[in-house]
Amino acid sequence: MRVSWVTIDKKNEPSFVEYGTKPGQYEASATGDHTSYHYFSYTSGRIHQVVIGPLEPSTTYYYRCGGSGPEFALLTPPSHLPLEFVVAVGDLGQTEWTASTLRHVHKTDYDVLLLPGDLSYADGQQPLWDTFGRFVEPYASYRPWMVTNGNHEVEAYPITHSHAFRAYNTRWVMPFAESGSHSNLYYSFDVAGVHVIMLGSYADFSSSSAQYQWLEADLGRVDRGRTAWVIVVLHAPWYNTNIAHQGEGEGMRRALEELLYKARVDLIFAGHVHAYERFTRVYDNKADQCGAVHVTIGDGGNREGLALAFKEDTNGLSLFQEASFGHGRLKVVNETHAHWSWHRNEDSYSTVRDEVWITSLTSSADCRPKEMPKTQLKSVHNEL
- Which of 270, 266, 228 lies closest to 253 in space, CA to CA? 270
- Angle value at C-alpha 202, between 88 and 259, nearest 5 degrees: 85
For every residue of 169-193, DSSP letters joined together read HHHS--STGGGT-S-TTSEEEEETT
Q: Which amino acid is at 332?
A: V
User: Helix count (H) and strand count (E) of the chain?
Assistant: 6, 23
| Residue 272 is a catalytic residue | no
Q: Which of 104, 152, 195, 245 is catalytic?
A: 245
Residue 138, CB-side half-sphere exposure with 13 Å CA sphere: 7
Strand 326-332: give its sheet, edge to edge: 145-148, 112-116, 83-87, 326-332, 337-345, 350-359
Q: Is the dihedral of CA 178, 180, 183, 185 positive or negative?
A: negative
Residues linked to residue 127 through DSSP beta bridges, in sequence order: none
Catalytic residue set: 245
